[in-house]
Structure 1
Amino acid sequence: MKKILFGAGALFLCLAFILASCLEEIDRIDKIEDPSFAPSIDFPLVNSDFSMEEFLTEGESKARIVDQQGLLVLIYDDTVTTPSAAGFFSLPDQQSPVLSITGPEVSFPSPGASVTVTKNLTFAFTPANSEALDSVVIKAGQMLFQMSSTFPANISLDVNITSLKFQGTAFQRNFTFTGAGSQNPSFNLQGSSFDLTRNGTTTNTVSLSIKATITDTGQPINNTHRLDFSFGLDNLGFRAIYGDLGSSSTQLTADSLNVDIFNNTLTSGTFELLDPLIRLTMQNSFGVPLGFDIRNIAVWRGNTSTALSGAAVNAPNNPYRVSAPSYSQIGQAVTSEININASNSNLSQLISSFPQYLGYQFDLALNPAPVTSKHFVLDDSKVVVAVHLELPMHGKVSALSISKRFDFSGLGIDDVEQSKIKVKTSNESPLDANVQIFFLDNNGQVLDSLFAERSFLKGATVGPDGFTTGAEQVIKEVTVTQAKIDRIEQAEFLVMTAVMFTSNNGTVPVKFSTADKLKVSVGVNTRIQY
């Protein structure tokens, strides 16, 4: 301010010089003695525009401001994601029974002849949670063979696991034994698949056969000789599983949105928003019907919470049924949507309580009925829940009291006879306001106020559609004496308070536009002795 005064003083000196030059032309100038001037000069302090967008994003919230047909709307978005299907389903290690060929089953018709013995086996593939599996596409895992022979003969062993396929072809391998011995080969199962239906007649069933061609080497075979075959499936990971996957449930991690648009400056009053909306959008790539339970939605202010209630969160609507992709949509996600508004809940009441946070937690049930049918999941199947909050600025304000404190370093006005602070406002918003500014010392004690009484700031006229028409202008002048300036100059803080109303003392709903602005010009008019 002192720099402004210095500049203004220089300007005044220039004007005085021009005036003095003119006075030289006046006759009898020597008659003028001790000229004294006390010009009145205006010094601008503030000249700025304040929009509703700036006001509503002063808090810590991460709201986006959008324009919906002229209406100002605050948008908040968050996502909550379930674990992938690999967190719901697993494939335990499997072990086949032992297939054995014993000495009494081998009889050579002549020396050096061969005998072929075939054995078939089916065994149960044991799932983790009693699922009835049709097929499994393997992403990782090992097949470990356990083979041993005590026959004193040569053996060609063909292994055919008809349930296991690589690129559509059943698994088949040949192993040879020259006399007694054991073998433990392993095979990487990545990219393979298990058909567990036994040609569509059952589930959870592995089918295999072995065919041993045993050739006489001249050594006698007795009843204690045997060939044993088995295999294990270890460290299985699936790419996809198909079948009746049973029922399971999980609780999603609780989360929240910061919706504090007032940045803790609100002290009292009501701000009723008429059309708030929560939209929950579920993207489901599980090939399983889902039950979506809104376990809790609540707003928080400090340590106090208020829960959402109403038809939207009660039976029979909640839990909700979430659609699932069909077999023709494998790898895709299907969208379901839930809208929560003032007609099916107390959301308007919650949002109008000036919350700082909106918290939420959801439960998810897979195949909640349960329905016995064919489903599927991929290893990366999941549910993504998009939480979308809309706060259209359409409502009523009554005695809404807001207070904000700023650091203050003084007006910078020294040794003046008399000054006036001029405040000119042009208000395009639908808010009437009573405004006061207090000056506080370092201990928070009020030293003085700007206005003797609260200054009235008139809101713009509201049309039938709820939007304002034009702007309302108010000019206020406050005489500031030297004594008042001396008190103000001691202040360390400035506190601005406003008590606001919409039309008719907050009884008529109005709509705030993105174009609403408050134009403020503040200046000091002072007389300087020259």
Structure 2
Amino acid sequence: MILKLRSLIPFILSGILALTTQSCFDGDDYDFDKLSEKVNWTPNMIVPAGYGTYSLWYLLNQHEENPADQVIIMDEEGMLHIKYTEADIFSYSVDEVLNFPNQSSIDLSYDLPDYTIGIPYTALPAFGSQTDQIQIVTGNTDVMLYELDLGANIQFQLSNPLNTEVDIHISIPNGTQAGSSINQTYTLAPNVNNQVENLDLTNLNLLFNTPHTTNNDIDITFDVDIKDNASHIISGSGDLEINLTVQNIVFQLAKGDFGKQVITLDAGSFDMNVDFWDDIEGDYQFVDPRINLSMENSVGVPFQINANITGYASDGNMASLNPDALQPNYPKEVSLANPFTIDPITEVITYDTNNSQIAAVMALPPSDRLEYFGNIALNPDGATPATPTNPNIISSNSAINVDIEIDVPLDFTASNLVLRDTINDIDISDTDKIMNAAVVIVTENGYPLEVNIDKIFFTDEAYNVIDEISDNDVIDAASVFTSGTNIGEVDPASIKEVEHQIQLSQSQIKNLNLTRNLIINASVSTQNNDVPVKLKGAYELKFTISVQAQIDLNN
């Protein structure tokens, strides 16, 4: 961003260093008369240190050969943004909302008269049907089911106390299989114990008993038909025993009230990879930073996002987003193309300065990392209650996936924003030949940023300070419009050519011999009566930097 302006700072000193590599030169190569007005001594050498025209777009992206690595982008209006995306920052799947654990077996019995002494077959009374209830257990005790499409099977263990075969007819009154009623007959052998039978319930549709409760009961009906035998005498004592277990439940679509569940989201962290954040400190404030949560949701349950993001700076400071709880939209209809799926809906939820503390997070800056965590509350307070005519719905492939996009338009104010850079491994000799030296900088600054080089420290190998240069107003800012439709944009009429000098003292020239590193402290600020400035990619900085020196030609 703006802070890569620090890459210009080494140009200012590179010409000085170049002087020390000149063992001889031809004075006829330079027109010193043209330079005499720039310093208060007569130079006899000039070394170009740097020149060029840099658009802000180029300056901020010149080191990113792969566009995919760029965190600075330019929109259609030429405005620059910091942008970062992270896929699947939050997600949860259907089994966190609705699942079916292994079901417990259920013991039932069909009452038979006591035929211990035997009874002629022709004297048997008529037997009526018997209806019992099966409870479908879910993984959450607050789930109330209205309707369920599923695949399953019921395993029966059937015991017959009579000395003759018995046909048992089984039906599920409120269930259909591929649109047909569910009816199955099993023939029990005489005096059999735990005869095993399986009822295949592929493509089963179940309507649960009303009034609906969290017991999630369905009816199952039994009819018996006692068969005649060779003796025509029916004997036996006890009831027809029915043990059943619902197995292998694989649901395809569920409607109901799934209760007030809270689903904890997986926590994580990421680094926005904004390199210049490691090199700055000071005060700045973005006008309109945003975090966009792009959601694809096929879970038809009202929900509330209770999530947070905490930013950490490299110095350990931290700030949290603390967003308002939001209740996004959710699908309410089953796909007509496939009765067992829910068409996902997409929605973008935005956290901005109106509903979160994003300005404080971005102003840290979050140079170390951003951590995210939180939960999703199903059927939160204030949501429309589930009813049989307006149910929660979920299919076997339902899920919520949330991607994050951080978008920070470079529209901001800054004051005392300190930049630091270091030039290492300097080896300078023969500075005794330099009698006087000065850096002359001519700029035409189309950036709305004022850059000051506050200090340049000369240090030894251990980074002990030997000397320093103090200076101000090296690059003057272009002014911006303070009202109207172009507020914050550079006023082209304010761009002008400015010349500035940094003159080295005799002690500074002498101490170059001992210098092994240069530590540069610069600062950036925006002016214009605190009107935020907008950085556009087309803004240009034109500059020439030269070092003028007076060399002792006799030494």
**Aligning the two structures, in what range does the TM-score lie when normalised by the shorter sequence?**
0.7 to 0.9
User: Once the 2 structures are TM-superposed, how far is the Cα of residue 431 of structure 1 from its aligned partner?
Assistant: 0.9
Q: 2:290 aligns with which of 277, 302, 305?
A: 277
Partner residue in 2 for 1:322 = 328
- Structure 1 residues 210-244: Cα deviation after superposition (integer angstroms, max 9, x where no partner): 44352313274324165433320134342222122
1:293 aligns with 2:301: no
Q: How does 1:508-527 map to 2 (within 5 A)?
A: 508-519=531-542, 521-522=544-545
Partner residue in 2 for 1:20 = none
Q: Hey, what's the Cα distance between the residues in 2 that align with 1:445 and 1:204?
A: 81
SS of equivalent to 2:278:
coil
User: For structure 1, which segment, 452-461 or 240-249, has the greater mean C-alpha deviation from structure 2 after superposition?
Assistant: 452-461
Partner residue in 2 for 1:341 = 352
1:195 aligns with 2:217: no
- Structure 1 residues 376-416: Cα deviation after superposition (integer angstroms, max 9, x where no partner): 11233233344443222222222221112243344687885
- Structure 1 residues 403-448: Cα deviation after superposition (integer angstroms, max 9, x where no partner): 1224334468788556665545443211111114333222111234
Q: How does 1:151-230 map to 2 (within 5 A)?
A: 151-181=162-192, 182-186=194-198, 189=201, 191-197=203-209, 204-218=217-231, 220-224=233-237, 226-230=239-243
Report the residue type matching 1:243 in the other structure. G
1:496 aligns with 2:541: no
SS of equivalent to 2:92:
coil
User: For structure 1, which segment, 429-438 or 200-209, has the greater mean C-alpha deviation from structure 2 after superposition?
Assistant: 200-209
Alpha carbons 1:409, 1:489 under 8 Å: kept: no
Alpha-carbon spacing, 1:440–1:320, altered in 2? closer, same or farther (3 Å): same
1:364 aligns with 2:376: yes
Alpha-carbon spacing, 1:83–1:308, altered in 2? closer, same or farther (3 Å): closer
Partner residue in 2 for 1:265 = 279
Partner residue in 2 for 1:138 = 150
Q: 1:458 aligns with which of 459, 465, 476?
A: 476
Q: Hey, what's the Cα distance between the residues in 1 that align with 2:89 and 2:180?
A: 41
Alpha-carbon spacing, 1:102–1:429, altered in 2? closer, same or farther (3 Å): same
SS of equivalent to 1:456:
coil
Report the residue type matching 1:75 in the other structure. K
Partner residue in 2 for 1:76 = 84
- Structure 1 residues 272-299: Cα deviation after superposition (integer angstroms, max 9, x where no partner): 22222334454432222223335x4544
Q: Hey, what's the Cα distance between the residues in 2 that align with 1:443 and 1:321?
A: 57
Q: How does 1:225-236 map to 2 (within 5 A)?
A: 226-236=239-249
User: For structure 1, which segment, 256-265 or 117-126, has the greater mean C-alpha deviation from structure 2 after superposition?
Assistant: 256-265
Alpha carbons 2:119, 2:235 under 8 Å: kept: no
SS of equivalent to 1:252:
strand
Alpha carbons 1:162, 1:171 under 8 Å: kept: yes
Q: 2:343 aligns with which of 332, 341, 347?
A: 332
Alpha carbons 1:447, 1:488 under 8 Å: kept: no
Q: Hey, what's the Cα distance between the residues in 1 that align with 2:423 and 2:114?
A: 101
User: Once the 2 structures are TM-superposed, how far is the Cα of residue 494 of structure 1 from its aligned partner?
Assistant: 2.7
Partner residue in 2 for 1:397 = 414
- Structure 1 residues 90-129: Cα deviation after superposition (integer angstroms, max 9, x where no partner): 224143442336364895545xx99985533230424331
Partner residue in 1 for 2:36 = none
Q: Hey, what's the Cα distance between the residues in 1 that align with 2:505 and 2:376?
A: 69
SS of equivalent to 1:215:
coil
Alpha-carbon spacing, 1:251–1:515, altered in 2? closer, same or farther (3 Å): same
Partner residue in 1 for 2:257 = 244
Alpha carbons 1:102, 1:227 under 8 Å: kept: yes
Partner residue in 2 for 1:316 = none
Q: Hey, what's the Cα distance between the residues in 2 that align with 1:230 and 1:431?
A: 82
State TM-score, norm by structure 1: 0.75
Q: Hey, what's the Cα distance between the residues in 2 that align with 1:511 and 1:10?
A: 48
Alpha-carbon spacing, 1:518–1:142, altered in 2? closer, same or farther (3 Å): farther
Q: Hey, what's the Cα distance between the residues in 2 that align with 1:421 and 1:428?
A: 21
SS of equivalent to 1:86:
helix
1:125 aligns with 2:131: no
Q: 1:444 aligns with which of 463, 466, 473?
A: 463
Aligned length: 493
Q: Hey, what's the Cα distance between the residues in 1 that align with 2:174 and 2:62?
A: 62
Alpha-carbon spacing, 1:327–1:95, altered in 2? closer, same or farther (3 Å): farther
Q: Hey, what's the Cα distance between the residues in 2 that align with 1:402 and 1:452?
A: 15
Alpha-carbon spacing, 1:6–1:409, altered in 2? closer, same or farther (3 Å): closer
User: Once the 2 structures are TM-superposed, how far is the Cα of residue 513 of structure 1 from its aligned partner?
Assistant: 0.8
Q: Hey, what's the Cα distance between the residues in 1 that align with 2:81 and 2:541?
A: 18
Gaps of 5+ in 2: 1-13, 30-42, 336-340
Report the residue type matching 2:237 in the other structure. T
Partner residue in 2 for 1:149 = 160
User: For structure 1, which segment, 69-78 or 198-207, has the greater mean C-alpha deviation from structure 2 after superposition?
Assistant: 198-207
Alpha carbons 1:115, 1:214 under 8 Å: kept: no
SS of equivalent to 2:359:
helix
User: Once the 2 structures are TM-superposed, how far is the Cα of residue 145 of structure 1 from its aligned partner?
Assistant: 1.6
Partner residue in 2 for 1:91 = 100
User: Once the 2 structures are TM-superposed, how far is the Cα of residue 203 of structure 1 from its aligned partner?
Assistant: 5.9
Q: Hey, what's the Cα distance between the residues in 1 that align with 2:222 and 2:24?
A: 108
- Structure 1 residues 12-50: Cα deviation after superposition (integer angstroms, max 9, x where no partner): 79x9xxxxxxxxxxxxxxxxxxxxxx9846465676847
Q: Hey, what's the Cα distance between the residues in 1 that align with 2:534 and 2:401?
A: 34
Alpha carbons 2:459, 2:467 under 8 Å: kept: yes
Alpha carbons 2:310, 2:320 under 8 Å: kept: yes
Q: Hey, what's the Cα distance between the residues in 2 that align with 1:349 and 1:511?
A: 19
CA-atom RMSD, angstroms? 4.5
Alpha-carbon spacing, 1:178–1:115, altered in 2? closer, same or farther (3 Å): farther
Alpha carbons 2:153, 2:198 under 8 Å: kept: yes
Report the residue type matching 1:432 in the other structure. E
User: Once the 2 structures are TM-superposed, how far is the Cα of residue 187 of structure 1 from its aligned partner?
Assistant: 5.3
Report the residue type matching 1:285 in the other structure. S
User: Once the 2 structures are TM-superposed, how far is the Cα of residue 360 of structure 1 from its aligned partner?
Assistant: 4.5
Alpha-carbon spacing, 1:439–1:340, altered in 2? closer, same or farther (3 Å): same
Percent of pairs identical after alignment?
19
Greater share of strand: 1
SS of equivalent to 2:227:
strand
Alpha carbons 1:288, 1:324 under 8 Å: kept: yes
Report the residue type matching 1:194 in the other structure. L
Report the residue type matching 1:468 in the other structure. V
Report the residue type matching 2:421 in the other structure. K
User: Once the 2 structures are TM-superposed, how far is the Cα of residue 271 of structure 1 from its aligned partner?
Assistant: 1.3
SS of equivalent to 1:468:
coil
User: Once the 2 structures are TM-superposed, how far is the Cα of residue 74 of structure 1 from its aligned partner?
Assistant: 1.7
State TM-score, norm by structure 2: 0.73
Report the residue type matching 1:496 in the other structure. I
Q: Hey, what's the Cα distance between the residues in 2 that align with 1:408 and 1:232?
A: 79
Alpha-carbon spacing, 1:71–1:187, altered in 2? closer, same or farther (3 Å): same
User: Once the 2 structures are TM-superposed, how far is the Cα of residue 477 of structure 1 from its aligned partner?
Assistant: 5.5
SS of equivalent to 1:306:
strand
